[in-house]
């Protein structure tokens, strides 16, 4: 049992005071559990850890349904564990079963702005205003509070990439758990960082076009131009240049043409007309 005042066991006699009345001041998460329930034993320490991370801005009330069967019946609890969120004197949401930590946090953040969420929001505002270093500092604070919060790390990678330190951004992305790394937003971010790495800060678009006109096998110019085009959402230009690289030299930078096509497909999405057209062309070249 936790020694923290905002994590506690509650009985029917105390429920009105410690949960209903208290929820007008602080949201209260109510965990209906039982000793014989395996998933309850898995969920309970996670709920305690999450509640602790809110630093007193969330309370956790634990109801042993074997002892408080009448209280569980009053709320219509039919499956264990059931977790209910009470705000301003009334249940506002609930879930059943031992959800992963990320889903529990998502459940809470629909109703409560945590300290970490507030820091993420502030960081986004700072980044939008051009204060990149301040945004990074805020995200580092959030990471110190919740080191395993993948969304904080994703935000950090995205903002660090805006400083031009694409290698560090990719290190953060590559260290993410596989279930996070395969998320659509993460794959898109990874593709954007790849393209930014290849775009570089070198010659202008006009200079790159002139180099290609002078030498159609200038693959470095094609790669930079393709990446610049992708970064400015001129996707047809990007795809044409990456395809031209693939046609000319599959060995160039470990098949950079094909990898550039795949990154651009990631940004466009699999259902985009350009993705379908150029994916067919890529497959024809491969086979």
Which residues belong to the active site? 37, 40
- Angle among Cα 127, 159, 121 to the nearest 5 degrees reads 50
Helix axes 150-162, 184-199, angle to 10 degrees: 20
């Amino acid at each position: 049992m936790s020694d923290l005042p905002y994590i506690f066991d509650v009985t029917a006699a105390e429920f009105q005071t410690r949960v209903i009345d208290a929820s007008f001041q602080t949201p209260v998460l109510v965990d209906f559990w039982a000793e014989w329930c395996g998933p309850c034993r898995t969920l309970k320490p996670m709920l305690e850890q999450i509640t602790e991370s809110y630093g007193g801005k969330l309370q956790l009330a634990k109801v042993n349904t074997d002892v408080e069967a009448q209280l569980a019946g009053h709320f219509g609890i039919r499956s264990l564990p059931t977790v209910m969120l009470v705000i301003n004197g009334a249940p506002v949401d609930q879930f059943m079963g031992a959800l992963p930590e990320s889903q529990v946090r998502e459940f809470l953040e629909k109703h409560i702005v945590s300290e970490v969420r507030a820091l993420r929001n502030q960081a986004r505002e700072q980044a939008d205003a051009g204060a990149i270093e301040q945004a990074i500092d805020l995200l580092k604070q959030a990471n110190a509070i919740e080191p395993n919060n993948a969304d904080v790390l994703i935000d950090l990678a995205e903002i660090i990439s805006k400083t031009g330190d694409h290698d560090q951004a990719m290190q953060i992305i590559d260290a993410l758990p596989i279930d996070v790394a395969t998320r659509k937003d993460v794959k898109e971010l990874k593709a954007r960082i790849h393209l930014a790495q290849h775009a570089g800060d070198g010659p202008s678009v006009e200079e790159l076009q002139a180099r290609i006109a002078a030498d159609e096998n200038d693959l470095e110019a094609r790669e930079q131009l393709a990446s610049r085009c992708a970064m400015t959402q001129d996707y047809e230009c990007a795809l044409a240049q990456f395809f031209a690289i693939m046609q000319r030299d599959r060995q160039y930078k470990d098949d950079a043409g094909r990898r550039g096509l795949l990154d651009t497909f990631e940004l466009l999405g699999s259902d985009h007309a350009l993705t379908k057209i150029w994916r067919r062309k890529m497959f024809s070249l491969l086979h």
